[in-house]
Every structure is written in C-alpha cells, then in structure tokens.
Structure 1
C-alpha cells in the first residue's frame, strides 16, 4: 500500500480543526488519516470530541478514516456515516472520565447542522488497556519514528518499539489497521499484529496469538478468558492460575508439525486454518449472519462469550450474537457468574441449594446470572477460621482431576492454600478419588447423578469464613485462662524447659524429628526403597543428594535422598518444616519425609516436564518454548515467590532461585522447589545476617556484606527472567570471554537501548511479541538494581506481569556482577561456601 508523503504535510491542519470543520471534512472526504514524524496529540478538549452530555462515553479523535459512504440509520430520522478512528476513549460518564485508553474504534458520525455528533463507539484495539491514562496524556510519533504514550505526569505508559526500523509516518487503513511505515512504504509495525480482544474483517489471529477478554465492560485490564489458535484448532480458555479449555473447534491439524495455524474473519464467516496454504478451504468454518452494512467484528467479551457485532440499521444500534457452538448454556464458565450454580440454565447461589441463608448474596436479584458474592469475604492469616460448604453432585467446566488423594487431604490442601477458593472432588471408591483446587472463581454446574456410575460421586467444597467456631473457641479459651491460670502457667514452664533441653541435643533419630509440629506424612525407609525400585530410577542429582522417580499407591512421586548422615541435615530440617507448613499452587508440594537412623529422604510431587533449565538453555535438545509459555513460567514463579515473601506468617527467603529449582508440570505450570537454603525472617525485622549461600550466577550484590533480605530472591528472579528470554545461562564459560557473563552484556545493551539483541535466537515466536518481551526485560532490569530499596517487591512484580502496574522507568543501568567480584576476592569458587549444584537439578 502506498502512503503519499504529501498527504502527511496536510495532517497537522486536522489536529486543531473544529467540529463543524471536521463535519465538512468527513462528509466531503477531504481529510487524511496520516501523520508525520514529530506530531504530538494531547488528550484534552482541543481534540475533536463528542459533546452530548447524556453520552455514557468520551471519545477524542486523533484522526478518522471514513469506512463507507453508505448512509446508516443511527436513530429516528437520523442518518450518518461510519468511521474508523484513532484516539482516546473512556467508557464512563463523559463529564467525569479520568481513565482513557489510546485505541482504535468504530464510531458513527452524524452531521446535524454545523456539528458532528459521534455515536455508538466500539473499541477494536487498545494500546494501554492494562494502564489507562488521565486528562492531558500525550501520544507522540517521535522524531526517531516510535509511537509512544505518556501519562500527564510524563510517565511512559506504552510504546510501539520500532527502534532501528526507519519509520517515516503513520497511517490508519480503511480496515482499521494502524500502521507505521518506512521510506519504501513498507509496514514495519501494525496494530493488527498486536490483537487485544477483537478481530475485524481482514485481520488474522496467528498461531500463539490471543484475544484476551477484559475484566468487565468498563474495566479494560486483562480478565480471565482468552481465545487462541493452536496447531490443531481454535481454543477458548478460562482461568489465570490454571487455564482450562471450555471450547475447541472440531479441526484436525497436525499438532506436532504444523506451525502456521490461524483464524480469519472474512467472507461472512470465521475461518480456522491449520495449514498456511491459503488457497485451500479452512479446516473449520463458522458461518455468520449476513451484514448488509459492511462492518462487523468478533470480540471475546468479559464473560467468555465470543460474539459477532453487526450494525442493526433498523434498531439504530449494534446487535450481537454468539459465535461459539456451545449448546449447553451451563458449559460457559460464567453462565451464572462467580460462585453461581447452573442447573438446566437456571442460576442460584450455593447456600440456596442447601436451603441455608446468609453466606452468599446475589449481585443483582433481578439478574440471577450475574452471580453471587460471599457476605463475609475470605481473608488469609486472620484469626477467623475457614470451613467448607459441601455441595453434592456439583462440578465445574472441564476440570482436570489429575491429583489422586482422599477427600480429607483434598480439603486440607485447600484450607492450607490461601489462593484456593473451592476444592472439587470425585470419589472413585470409598477411600480415594481425584482432587482439583480452584483459585479462579467461576460458575459451578449441578450434575445429574445419572451422569455417574454407582462408584462415582462429585462434590464441590466451597471455602467460607467460620466466625461461630472461632467465637466459641475464644469463649472457651477465656474460661480456661481465668479458672486455670496457675495450671496453664506450670504447663508452659514445663514445655519450655523440655524444648530448651531438646534444642541442645543433636538429632540422632526420627523420633525427635517426628515431634516437630506441622510435619507431612512420615514414611519408613523400606517403603521408599520399595517405591523407587531400590533407588534404581535416578532422575536428577545435586550438591546434597540424588532424586529418584517412584510410585506410592499408583501415585507418581519424586524422592530426594540426602547423602550421608551429616551432609544436608540442616537443609533437610529446613525443607521439612518450611515446605511442610505451606501450600501454594506455584510451590512444589512436599508429600512426606523419612527420618530413620542415618537416612534422610524427602518425598515430593512428581513434575513430568522436569526442571526449567532443560527447556531454556540452547545446549538442550528440547524445542524452544514459545512466548506465551515463557511468560506463563515467569508469572508462575513470581506468584510463588510473592506468596513466600508476603503471605506466610514469617517472610520466607528462598535464597537459591535458579532454573534448576523451577519445575514444570504436564501443562508447563511452574513451581518453585528446593528450600534447603531457605531462611525465615520475622516481620519486625527487615534483614538477617547469614553466611554466603546460593549458586554462582544468581547471587545478589548484598551477599558480600552477609546482611540480606528477601530482595536477594528478587535479584535472582531477575537473572532467571533474563535467562528465560535470552536462552542462555548468566555464567557460560563456553562462550568467548566477552560474552561469558550475561549480566555484563545486559548492562551494555541496556545503555545502548539494544536489549532486544539478546533475545533467544532459536525462537521465532519471540519476534512476534517484541513489545511484550521488551517490557518483561525492563522488569528484569528493575529486579537487578544494585540498591535493594530500588528493587520491586515480588508482589509488585506480579502486578506488572498481570498488567495492573507499570515498570519503573528511572533505572540505574550500572549493574554489579557479583560473580566476578567474589571470584576476584576468593581467587577461585572452591574457596567460597556455595551450593554449586541444584539439589533437584535435571529433568524429571
């Protein structure tokens, strides 16, 4: 497509034009939809905007693009034309809007006298949906050829990242595609390549890309649903922590070899291709109602429905219809809203199903499908105890019951996991079954008992707060204290004396260890020897021992055997007490332990995809991970660390974060493992003093002072993120001398604004998401700050990854390579007390 340079010179005239002038320009087609370098737009009423006080939106146009000269009906006896427009949009009362997104939208223009009225806008793309801006925010096509968005306070919110691409102008196409082009008129950046929640005619959703639904109709941040195309068809997923598919197109692509699947909206249908030869017919086709007025789009809405939007000329408004062929309305994850129970299309709250009251309330009694909410919201770490509301014959959409256990353990695991809201359990016999812990709240489904055989029964255990039990316990405690204070005091003194005496004794056998509170299941040495085939199936090795694959009651496990009675004893006790007392979806679960004479063993859940290093370092033969998987792993690790740092009674500093200690399950969900070096930090203390520990390549600069905090984990996390994105180790002595230390290379590339030169060259998928990759790289730089106070907390990191917070822009790019400093100080690594190898390294 050719974008005449002369037209760019005309565009600045449009920036300050009045509504009447723009009205004449629109209807006489004398405007242009182009801009040249150096053009700046400010989000205030100086831009052309809607002026009707009863509009429930605010739009401010940067430039429009006439879609069609065909007149449309936009109200009784009112006609207008339809525009694609780029500008600022706010979905709120026009008089009080304070949160705008820079976006592309379809809007109807009506020429009434000397005014141009803008009606019924529909956003089809947005740049900053996770970070709205305020009044007086600025969009600029810089002299260097990048499109950037600044908030009113000067904070950089978003940029197109077109460095070194020789951009000379910007253009809005007739299909609503915002493009930046170079001197040869080649499109070097396109909004079509960065979809949000909408697909318009002529736009393709390619393999690995997503349509991501918003949280609600007025909150544009990323929600719980996304639609994507995989090698074997189109999928719709729901969930943040554990996404599960609730729709799949009936296609037959080759999942092992195909890399060119895509979805396209064209010719009156939504077409799914699993072959890039476009002359062939699509593998799957959803025929859509005819659009007589030429403008249609599909959007993944906040409730998980993929809807087609068309202009209803008779009604003067947009008309929507469902696209996905899901016959059962209860199969949609939010069929009855959060916590709602769907039964034959009818909605109710959980306590209503049990003829109780007071635990839940309807969000809107007039619209039962809006869902329910807990009258007393769950809180973690409070004095109030949680209990379960048991719902028989209740399930959820597409639950993967991949955890074999008993009902009691399933419920206990949910109670101990702050993020767990509902535990789903299916009994397969009298003693065991399958468990699924849900942290994302969706609708539940009332299951007909005839759906199961006599040997199966389904339960949903909904976690609620229990005040009554706590109050009763408090009353009893008060009575006991008042009436038996002397007796209680004597017991306390006795216990303290025993504990003090025991603490000075060496741990020689399992009996002493067994007295520790909060321990998981204890196994005998012989039982674990049998479970691992006499320790014949070795799957990993590290500095403190080896790891073996085994089975207990048909459940696959990983058994870590510490080498020697003295070696690893401290690490052993730390892991038993620390890991045994916590439970989180992104921390590897400690199932049990063995402490028998000289034997020290730990029993963990089995992680079939092994450790992260197997998948990210180039020397491994595994195929490179795509961008979405890498981002998911980074986010999972961040959530696990945030839980350790913020949500436990004491701050838990892991102190050995590295790819070998990050394990992947069958869905590539990441879990942090190996707490052998962990330290507990009391909330009233911000730092602790400890000897140097950890692994070369992941040590924070403050280790040289021996005074550390949980921020050393933040630094190590930053290193791991860079390794994931760059596909190489931080310390790699197989590289030439100038390329051995990744941190040093990151420092130099960051100063030259060339960070993207370091991304994993094996992955072509990363090239399709350069703006997101760059944002996560900047987050890693924030984590690598030398000054611990300038590093983010892991809770802040999670918010950045979820898109609810921006990355700090004022960063110190002078990074410290502690590995070189320690090596110089010690002369060689063996002079420093370090754990060189991972206890749980190697694939499992």
Structure 2
C-alpha cells in the first residue's frame, strides 16, 4: 500500500513538473495555477526573474497586495497592483486570500472565505495561459497566443519601459506612500493629444484643472497633436505626434542594460521617471531622472484643496517633491496622511455667549511668508493691518485674513492652495480662540492683536 501511494505521488509530481519548469523558465503560468497569501507565498516570475507576480506582504504582516514588483532589488518596488471594485478602498487583502488563473475570468482574487474581490475579466475569449513577461507586463492569452488582457493596458501608478499609453489612458496616484487605495492625482492622455496632470475629487473622480500640460495639442492642424505616450525600451519617454514627430519628456536616460527604469505618479502628485542600477553597490536606490511639474506648490485650482490638503501649507523640497504642514492652531485630520487636510484645534463659532467673535474671545496667529491665494470671501480697501484684523475679529464667519498693500482679503475655512513663499510680502492672520496658545513652529510667528510679539523665528 505504501509503495502504491509513493508511486501515485511520484506520478503526480512528474505530471506537474513541466508546468512548474515552464513557470520558472519562460514566465508561463497554466490555467488552474493559484497562489495563497502567506508569509512564504511563491510568486510567478518572468523568464529572467526580473519581475514577480504574486502577493506582496505589507507593513502589517497580516495583509498582502496582489501586485507585480521588481524581484531582484531589495526594495521589491511595486509597479502594478489589483484594485477592487471600489478603488477608494484599501486594495490590501488579508492572509489566506487567493489568486487563481481561470479560463473564463482570467485572474480571480478571492478572500479567505472564497468571496470574489477582483478579477481581470471583461475580455472576449478563453484564457489558455498567463505570461509574466520580462518587461513587467502580465499577459493573458488564448490558444493562438492572442492577447486577451494585460497589465500594461490597466496601469495603476507606474509606467515601465515598453509600455504605451493611448488616448484616454489614465495613471492614478495611490493615497499615501504605504496606502495603495486611490489617491487625489491623475496623469491623463487626453483625446486632443495633450498629456496632463490634475487633481481630482474623491470619490466621484471628477477631474479638476490641470497643473501640468504637455502642449501637444494643435487646434489648427490635428497632425501636429499627440497620438501616443511611449516609454520605449531604451528608457526614453516621449509623446508621439500624429505626424511622426516626437516630443521628448526624457532628455537623457541611463542605459536600460545597466539600469532599471520606471515612471511613477507619486502620491503627492509629482510624476517622476526613476532609474536604479542593476549592479550591486552600496548606494543602490531609485534616483530621479526628470519630473513634472517644476513646482506643484504653485498649483492654484479653483476647486479642491491644491497640492496639499485643506488648510495645509505646501513647501517644495530640493527634489521637487512637496512638503505639507499644518499651520499653528491646526492638526492633521488623518495622522497617517501627512499630505492631507488640517482641522482647527479650537472652534470658531457665532454662538459664543452672545459675544460673536469679540476681542474677549479671539486673537490671531500670524503666518510669515504664507499665502492662501484662493477662496476669498470679501475684499476690503483701503485698510491697514489693524483694520484688517479687526474686520475679521468682528465677523463670526471669518476664519482668516490676508493683508497685502492696502487690501484686506477675508477668508472662510477651510483654506485652500496654501503655500510657503519667501517672496510673499503680505501678512496672513488666522483666528483662534483665546485660552489655547499654539506652540511655536519654525517659519511661523504668533503676533498678538495688540501688536506685541509673543514669539518669533527667522
């Protein structure tokens, strides 16, 4: 009996071994293959082993992201991930979830109870196999090797060399560096031929005005307009015009034979092409090749909060990435989202003992070199700074004022498009309730209504 059992097991292994070998030598994955999310989950590798498809373990070790990543670098950088039916939900799944390659629905992701979370369905035909290509593109194909579905035509936040975006294509940022749910920013290739970056409303996905435009739309001659966004195998990204001319986005690229490349719409709205050395060295990391826009803090949309969340203040770092900070007397709405909105620590109300916004109840914090250029409620002129503050103090609906020249701009909360600007010559005053004195922050100054400075920093 033992011998018969051994023979049966040996036969099963021999029958399965060709599929196992194919998966490891040319990236092919047979229908029926599956992976379960565990600490030591296997992955489906491309032929060279450069890319892997499977469950990427999150910081919370009990959760996993169905994704594609660079396998040969320590960071295991994710370049694609499966989004559920509601992309604003966190796509991370719990331990014990499973992905299976099926003939009718392609890739099917289920939770530990067997409930379907996501699938790559929506194609016509029957899947015969999947292929994890060395380009990072996971492809489902039929018996004729015709492509039924591929990850390259369903990008998330990253484009890779050999990937092409057609008109109507969208790349979306994630929520934060570690939260892969849908973020606030989009890269879109419009039907008119322009490549644009814009923020959007969540969860409606209504696009706000662009903060970067490629300028590849020609209303007078459509042949001059953009046709495709191409990231070629040499690591160069460009917009191909209908007349065959190129609008280069990558000016200089390191050779793909020695460097990995990716172009990612970061969670903070900056679109960046990165390179990473393939050879082992002590300083291996992703380095920016180029990025857009030049200064996202200058983004002043009519709708939305701007580069940072509401009430927040945007400042630019040396790598063109924004830093977002709450002003004094405000705190993050979500402590895990440093680029999100800020909320007041004290309430401004019209119902305070009948003393609506009086001097007995409120005072001001002065923010140095900080401008909130949008969302004006009223403009008063001519005014001096004392009159400007008093106008807000006696208005129970006023949350802040900006005094510039002889103009006084009254603001209602929440404030939008906040930015740190060393060239801004105005004064920004935010009203707060007495009895709570916010701590001093670098670059900000608290100035009492009477004109005496309680703290200052240059």
Same fold (TM over 0.5): yes
Q: Is the 8 A contact 2:167 2:193 kept in 1?
A: no
Report 1:47-58 matches (<5 A).
47-48=41-42
Whether 2:242 is the aligned partner of 1:261: answer no
User: Relative to structure 1, is the Cα distance of residues 145 and 335 closer, same or farther in structure 2, using a 3 angstrom cutoff?
Assistant: closer
Where does the alignment leave 5 or more consecutive residues of structure 1 unmatched? 1-8, 18-24, 49-60, 68-81, 109-117, 352-356, 364-368, 451-457, 470-844
Q: Hey, what's the Cα distance between the residues in 2 that align with 1:391 and 1:162?
A: 53
Q: Hey, what's the Cα distance between the residues in 2 that align with 1:101 and 1:343?
A: 31
Displacement of 1:318 in angstroms is 2.6
Q: Is the 8 A contact 2:124 2:148 kept in 1?
A: no
User: Relative to structure 1, is the Cα distance of residues 175 and 426 closer, same or farther in structure 2, using a 3 angstrom cutoff?
Assistant: farther
Query: Secondary structure in 1 aligned to 2:246?
Result: coil
Report 1:640-679 matches (<5 A).
none
Report 1:319-398 matches (<5 A).
319-321=286-288, 323-324=290-291, 326-327=293-294, 331=298, 339-340=312-313, 342=315, 359-360=329-330, 376=345, 391=367, 394-395=370-371
What is the TM-score of this pair, normalised by structure 2? 0.65
Whether 2:195 is the aligned partner of 1:234: answer yes
Report 1:282-297 matches (<5 A).
282-291=246-255, 292-297=257-262
Aligned length: 379
Report 1:27-66 matches (<5 A).
31-45=25-39, 47-48=41-42, 61=43, 63-66=44-47
Q: Which has more helix, going by share of residues?
A: 1
Q: Is the 8 A contact 1:426 1:435 kept in 2?
A: no
Q: Hey, what's the Cα distance between the residues in 2 that align with 1:91 and 1:41?
A: 16
Displacement of 1:271 in angstroms is 0.6
User: Relative to structure 1, is the Cα distance of residues 337 and 305 closer, same or farther in structure 2, using a 3 angstrom cutoff?
Assistant: farther
Whether 2:68 is the aligned partner of 1:83: answer no
Displacement of 1:156 in angstroms is 1.9
Q: 2:115 aligns with which of 142, 149, 155?
A: 155
Q: Is the 8 A contact 1:336 1:347 kept in 2?
A: no
Q: 1:310 aligns with which of 257, 275, 292?
A: 275
Q: 2:104 aligns with which of 144, 147, 150?
A: 144
Displacement of 1:199 in angstroms is 0.5
Q: Is the 8 A contact 1:349 1:361 kept in 2?
A: no
Higher RCO structure, 1 or 2 (CA under 8 Å, sep 6+): 2
Q: Hey, what's the Cα distance between the residues in 2 that align with 1:325 and 1:308?
A: 9
Aligned equivalent of 2:456: none
Query: Secondary structure in 2 aligned to 1:192?
Result: helix
Q: Hey, what's the Cα distance between the residues in 2 that align with 1:127 and 1:269?
A: 26
User: Relative to structure 1, is the Cα distance of residues 36 and 341 closer, same or farther in structure 2, using a 3 angstrom cutoff?
Assistant: closer
Report 1:205-604 matches (<5 A).
205-230=165-190, 231-240=192-201, 243-254=208-219, 261-266=227-232, 267-273=234-240, 275-276=241-242, 280-291=244-255, 292-312=257-277, 313=279, 314-315=281-282, 317-321=284-288, 323-324=290-291, 326-327=293-294, 331=298, 339-340=312-313, 342=315, 359-360=329-330, 376=345, 391=367, 394-395=370-371, 406=379, 444-446=419-421, 448-449=423-424, 466=433, 468=435
Q: Hey, what's the Cα distance between the residues in 2 that align with 1:344 and 1:64?
A: 37
User: Relative to structure 1, is the Cα distance of residues 459 and 438 closer, same or farther in structure 2, using a 3 angstrom cutoff?
Assistant: farther
Q: Deviations over 1:244-284 (max 9, x none)?
A: 433233434439968963322123322123x345xx12134
Q: Which has more strand, going by share of residues?
A: 2
In our comparison, the structure showing a higher alpha carbon Rg is: 1
Aligned equivalent of 1:125: 80
User: Relative to structure 1, is the Cα distance of residues 371 and 42 closer, same or farther in structure 2, using a 3 angstrom cutoff?
Assistant: closer
